[in-house]
Structure 1
Amino acid sequence: MPGGPRCVVGPAGSGTTSGRYETPQASELQRLMWTKNGTSGHLDQVQPRIYVGDMYAAKDKRTLHAHRITHVLNAADGRFNVNTGARFYRGTKILYHGVEASDVPSFNMAPFFGPAANFIRSALSSPTAKVLVHCVMGQSRSSTLVLAYLMIHEQRTLADAIRDVSAGRHICPNAGFLEQLRGLDAELNSRRARRC
């Protein structure tokens, strides 16, 4: 679905009131995730040149090579998570960015939205680049960062981003991350409304 700034968003039930977009409630966003046909493989393409995967995909250099992955964003970086890092990918030409996040609702992922989104955008500026965004299971931390990227740099609403990503992979940001994404959605939509 093509992105772009919006002043008015679609039909009833899509987060609109009087034709003006409003961030949907968490329960409505969860329903969107549950009703999509995405898979839960080790590595799934969720957007052109963007993949979401788990720790097994991240540690399988053959699979990464076969999919021509050039950039890895680890949303579960660190010694007690998926401890890969740039050294792990030495000799592969893969560029690495790590976010040391815990998959608990109390963890504040919001400070990482901008840097992670910028890493993905920078990677995709090369027409041959492909990005793997992963965590342990590839459902909560990694999907949260991909959703934030789509909202920040592709001007998607949170509802649209969830529809797009969950069509390619089963995703389930934890309740805290979903609330943080709702906050980002409200902030970005407020900015768009001021420009209209």
Structure 2
Amino acid sequence: MEESPSVKDLQKVLFGGKRFGNHVDEVWPGLFLGDMSAANDRYCVWKLGITHVVNAAHGSKYSQGSRHFYGDAVDYYGMPAEDSPTFDLSPYFYPCAEYIHSALGTSCAGVLVHCAVGVSRSASLVLAYLMIWHGYTLLEAIRKVKERRWIFPNKGFLKQLCLLQVKLQQS
């Protein structure tokens, strides 16, 4: 069993590399990671071919996302996560990963996972998806996403992802 890097080591990896300034990036085939600006732009969503939206900032002050906002053309999954190191995001890891996996299994699907800035909450959910469904370690998942987008999950989310890795390795 491979030992997980420390949160401090993971933060060094996350902090390094080129920082991308895009509102949305395709980080896996058909899987887009983005910010609120991209998610709140229905034309952008349509242009990217997004059929499913995961909003990790559902109900927050600046997030317009809802089933009604996108209409019938887009399936919507919202979770009221806070970008706080004390917020427990882990109960969303498996349901969100299942939703993404199921959505990507449909014809011509495009899935947008977003939060306010697209670097912490939503990035953590995408990392969990890659770990759960594609067998990546946390470090491998971070490196895979960082090929396309700069991300920086908060310290609490990194700890929760480390625990997810231990759980996955034990099963």
Instruction: Give the TM-score category using the shorter length.
Output: over 0.9
Question: Which residue of the partner structure matches residue 55 of structure 1?
Answer: 36
* 1:25 and 2:6 are equivalent in the alignment: yes
Equivalenced residue count is: 171
Matched-pair identity in %: 43
The correspondence for 1:122, drawn from 102, 107, 120, is: 102
Give the deviation of 1:37 after TM superposition.
Answer: 3.0
Distance 1:157 1:36 in 2: 19
3-state DSSP of counterpart to 1:21: coil
Distance 2:62 2:167 in 1: 31
Q: Is the 8 A contact 1:38 1:167 kept in 2?
A: no
Question: Which residue of the partner structure matches residue 162 of structure 1?
Answer: 142
Question: Which residue of the partner structure matches residue 49 of structure 2?
Answer: 68
What is the identity, as a one-letter code, of the residue corresponding to 2:68? R
Shifted more, 150-159 versus 36-45: the winner is: 36-45
Q: 1:96-107 residue pairs with structure 2 within 5 A? A: 96-107=76-87
What is the identity, as a one-letter code, of the residue corresponding to 1:186? V
Residue-by-residue CA offset, 1:99-155 (whole Å, 9 max, x unaligned): 100000000000010111011001000141011000000010000000000011111
* 1:181 and 2:161 are equivalent in the alignment: yes
What is the identity, as a one-letter code, of the residue corresponding to 2:75? L
Q: Is the 8 A contact 1:37 1:168 kept in 2?
A: no
Give the deviation of 1:81 after TM superposition.
Answer: 4.7
What is the identity, as a one-letter code, of the residue corresponding to 1:135? C
Gaps of at least 5 residues in structure 2 are none
Q: Is the 8 A contact 2:84 2:154 kept in 1?
A: yes
Q: Which has the larger radius of gyration?
A: 1
Question: Which residue of the partner structure matches residue 111 of structure 1?
Answer: 91
3-state DSSP of counterpart to 2:71: coil
Give the deviation of 1:38 after TM superposition.
Answer: 5.1
Question: Which residue of the partner structure matches residue 77 of structure 1?
Answer: 58
Question: Which residue of the partner structure matches residue 9 of structure 1?
Answer: none
What is the identity, as a one-letter code, of the residue corresponding to 1:85? S
3-state DSSP of counterpart to 1:89: helix
Instruction: Tell me the TM-score normalized by structure 1.
Output: 0.84
Question: Which residue of the partner structure matches residue 75 of structure 2?
Answer: 95
The correspondence for 1:41, drawn from 22, 30, 52, is: 22
Distance 1:95 1:165 in 2: 24
Q: Is the 8 A contact 1:37 1:167 kept in 2?
A: no
Shifted more, 61-70 versus 35-44: the winner is: 35-44
Gaps of at least 5 residues in structure 1 are 1-19, 192-196
